[in-house]
Structure formats: structure tokens, C-alpha cells
Structure 1
């Protein structure tokens, strides 16, 4: 973590603000400033034909001023603690675009936002703001649920140790590096997890003499060696390395529940368009299966589609 700022997305639809509580905790631990960000839009103000453009703008400015005052009230207790807090309220009809635009124009370390369960059918047609951020945000995105971060808790770093390409290897390094840094700040333990595919059913059927058990064991041992090599670089004990058979979207939530993890860190490829609707990203599949927070990282060479 650097000394830039945490961008905290405020949810105007709820009284409690889990993202702000989490961000405040991190600010106390790190000294990193907070920027409280609120994107609002009311289509009725744009369609009031009886009012002139100037009158509509005055009404919008009045709403913005009210929200600015509300954020100032949220920020006041934190400022009294000595936390550096800035406020930004914008009028924008696409919240995720306003968040990303601000991130592109300002030095932001993490986007921190509260999350909730997403309707899987509706999500294919109307992409949730959370998913847009996971796919397109140029900085790590921390999605917050209503769980605690107890001392001596567990952080899970989900890695893909089977990948040979430089992009995935760099992403593995960055995920684990950030997990270790955060663990030191909040006094937590880091666990690494990697899922591996089981024996393809068609091979077992077509080749009767094929030893599926030996094949599975060989694949697991290969992943175990790789994950322990990665762990050694960061002085993570081998007992905190977990290699499990299955898809990442199944393995990660299972381990998170088993360890009562407070946070999962993983990488996302930033897939968009039709492939995103049909295939999705691991982070999107995982988030609704977790009872804890999630941080998603992009590859180093990720190009934000909204960058001008």
C-alpha cells in the first residue's frame, strides 16, 4: 500500500455503511487518507419540461449540496479522530463510470465498496455496479460485507500456480505480496489456495487402463510444489498452503468457510462484453458464495476500457 487514498463508495440507500467502517479501520492502521465518494442521479430532474435548463441545474445543485452535507456528517467523527477525509459528490447516471473516472484522475490505492447478493439472471442483462468495477476498475477493488476483521484472523490469497505465462505469475506475486502487507497491518495470517482440475471423465472412459488416482495425485503434487515455492518467497508456512481439487469458484468459498476467513484476495482478468455475460470472472462467481470481504486485482498490463 502506498500513501495515496482509499476511495470509499458511499451507498445512499442504506443507513449503515460497511465500506466506510472497513475503510476507517484501514485508515487507523495505515494512516492512508479516505475520500468519501457519492454518485447520484435522478432522471426526473432531467425530464422536467416545465423548468428551464438553469432551473434544472439549480435543482441538481441543491441535491448535490444536501448530499455533500450528509457526507460531511459521516466524515465528522473520523476527522475528529485525526483521519484525513476528503469528500466528492458527483451527478452521473452510471455510478461505475463516475467511480472509475475519478480513479483515473486521482491517486487511489483501493476502491472500497459495500456489496450484496446479486440476482444471477438479472446480472446477465443488467450488469451490477460491483461487476463493472471488478471488470474495469484500474485499481484493486475491495468489496465489503458485514463481517468482522478480528485480530489473528485469516486472509486467503487465491493463486493460479499452474499458469506459465508472465501475466499470471506477476499477478500471483502481487496478490500474495499485498496479502502479506495487509496481514502485517491488521495482524492476520495469510493462507494460499489453488484449485486444480480433476481427471477428465472422457479420459477415464476411453482409456480403461488409465490410472485416474495416480494422475490426480501427480497433478496435486505438481501444484503443491508450485504453491510451496511461492509461499517460501514470502515466508508463509507450508501448513498454510492449500491445494484442492475443483474449480476456483468452488474451492475458494469452501476454504474461506473452513478457515472463517475475513478476506479473500484474488486476480481477475477484466473480461467484458459477451464473454463476460456468458462466462464471467472468478471474482463474480465467488463473491456471492462468500461470507467475507473480497479484493480483486487486475494484471499489471491491464488497460482500463474507460481510459481516455
Structure 2
């Protein structure tokens, strides 16, 4: 059995050459990986055309799939000339999420790469986009390419939270830093680790302080800052992150990460995601909030599966 790593690039049904193509090719070249490019086609207007008979509609659908397959092959040809192993696939399916998950189960991939689909705020409120479904249900690392000034990332930022209290996510921070270290080494990029902490989201009870006003006294706030700093340093130390590569900034995590990425020309931010159920799914997470706002691309690491 081949041990060559494999990357999966999911592309738009609209035959557009997005920055995700260049990023996927660069990563495959740097890692010596095979690249599988797949398009999940479904055009509402074509699928529901009621003015033609079923046979004519089937011919139109097959014709579109064939044109898309040829277009993907045109994109793959120059990559193969560079020595990359590239395969392409086009599948007609209305709801691609389950097809993607089946593909990943049948053909294990190192990472799934995809351009961010910029849906309107109203659309996201009414319908959960595919990108968010993938964030919530895909166990393979996800690389959402938003902007790609450089095909090879030059600056990588790993966002961690060493004070996550849910035991289900034990080890997630180490997985984030491991993934970030691997990506930085593959691309010969610089790496920083950042902990954006928000005291306003922490309750006094979590730290055994019954009096909220006492909790937010200057002394206790300083003690909390120091304990968080120690936890962050210990996490960074065991993952080989040097002191000069560490950043600890107070503020709303989503705002801090977006601002830091913009002001420091970050190419990729590596983050973890958590699992939500029930009403919590309506609230989402930091990575969901950032997906459509980040000035750079996002690499998302899922928590370890628990059987």
C-alpha cells in the first residue's frame, strides 16, 4: 500500500480558477503529496429545467459534467508537467457534504482544501453553508483559502487556548501546534503561536472565587494573567515554540486574531474547532465567526474523535 500523502481539493461547479488551486499545488509539491481535485456539480437552473423532456435534460447534465471534467484536466495538465501526481473527478450531487465525507472515509486525505464561499449574512442566517457544515462534521484538517498572496505560506500563526475546560478537547492545543509546526516546516515558513484571552468570558466560579467583584480585583486579575501565561508557556515549550515566537494578547479572540493577522501579514492561521450540539450550534465558535472575516486563509484542526 502506498504511503504517499494525499491532498483533496474541492472546487466550485462554476469552473473558476481560484487561489485554492495554487495553494493546493504548492502544498502538494512541497510535501511530495498526490493531489485529488474533485468538483461536486449541481446547477439549480439545469437540474430543474422543466421546459425540456427527461432525456434532453439528462444529455444536458452529462454534457456539463463532461465539459467540467475536461476543464479540470486542463488545470491538472501543467501540474503534472511539474511532476505532481494529480487526479480529477466530477460528480453530480445536490448536497455535497455527505459525498465529501464518504470520499474522505474511502480515500483518507492529509487535508481538505477549499476556497471560502462568501455567502451573504442573510443567507448564512437562513441556510447553513457547506463551509460551516464541514467545520462541524469533518474530522480531517480543513484548509479554507480566503486570500493567498503567496502560493507557499510565508507566515503562519497558530491560535491556541490552554484554558479550555471541556475534557473532550484535551490535547487539541498540542495537535494545533503540531499541525502548525509541520506546515511551517513543509513550506519553510515562519511560525508564531498566539493566545488571545478574554477575561470577560471567564466566571469567578470557574476559579473558585465566590465574589465577582473580588475576582476582578487588580491582584487576582494579575494572578490569573500569570497563571494563564505559565500554561501558555508550558504548552509552547513542549511543542518547540521559542519565547520570541509567542504572543499573549487580551481581548475578544475573534477580534484579536483578525487584527493581528492583518497587521502582521499572516498567510495562514491554524486553529482548533470544538463540537457543538443543540442550541449551541446556533452560536457557533471562534473559527466560524472568523471564517468570513479573516484577512488570510484558515487551517482548522478537529478534536480527537472519541469512540
Q: Is the pair's TM-score, using the shorter chain for normalization, greater than 0.5?
A: yes
Match of 2:207 in 1: none
Answer yes or no: is 1:296 the counterpart of 2:297.
Answer: no
1:276 to 271, 274, 281: 281
What is the alpha-carbon root mean square deviation over aligned residues? 2.8
Answer yes or no: is 1:223 the counterpart of 2:240.
Answer: no
Within 5 Å, give how 1:132-281 maps onto structure 2.
Answer: 132-149=133-150, 153-198=154-199, 212-271=217-276, 274-277=279-282, 279-281=283-285
Structure 1: runs of 5+ lacking an equivalent: 304-308
Q: 1:64-84 CA deviation, whole Å, 9 max, x = no partner?
A: 111111110110100111100
Deviation at 1:150, TM superposition (A): 7.8
Q: 1:56-103 CA deviation, whole Å, 9 max, x = no partner?
A: 434322221111111101101001111000111100001333322222
Answer yes or no: is 1:4 the counterpart of 2:5.
Answer: yes
CA distance in 1, matches of 2:272, 2:306: 11
Query: What's the TM-score, normalizing by structure 1?
Result: 0.87
Structure 2: runs of 5+ lacking an equivalent: 205-210
Match of 2:122 in 1: 121
Greater CA drift, 17-26 or 185-194: 185-194
Match of 2:42 in 1: 41
Deviation at 1:265, TM superposition (A): 0.8
Indicate if the aligned counterparts of 1:48 and 1:56 stay in contact, CA closer than 8 A: yes
Match of 2:19 in 1: 18
CA distance in 2, matches of 1:297, 1:201: 24
Query: What's the TM-score, normalizing by structure 2?
Result: 0.87
Deviation at 1:44, TM superposition (A): 4.6
How many residue pairs get aligned? The number is 300
CA distance in 2, matches of 1:151, 1:40: 28
Indicate if the aligned counterparts of 1:140 and 1:296 stay in contact, CA closer than 8 A: yes
Indicate if the aligned counterparts of 2:195 and 2:248 stay in contact, CA closer than 8 A: yes
CA distance in 2, matches of 1:161, 1:212: 23
CA distance in 2, matches of 1:174, 1:202: 27
CA distance in 1, matches of 2:43, 2:300: 30
Question: What is the SS of the residue equivalent to 1:13?
Answer: coil
Moved over 6 A (4+): 200-203, 206-210
Within 5 Å, give how 1:66-81 maps onto structure 2.
Answer: 66-81=67-82
Deviation at 1:41, TM superposition (A): 1.3
CA distance in 1, matches of 2:54, 2:306: 40
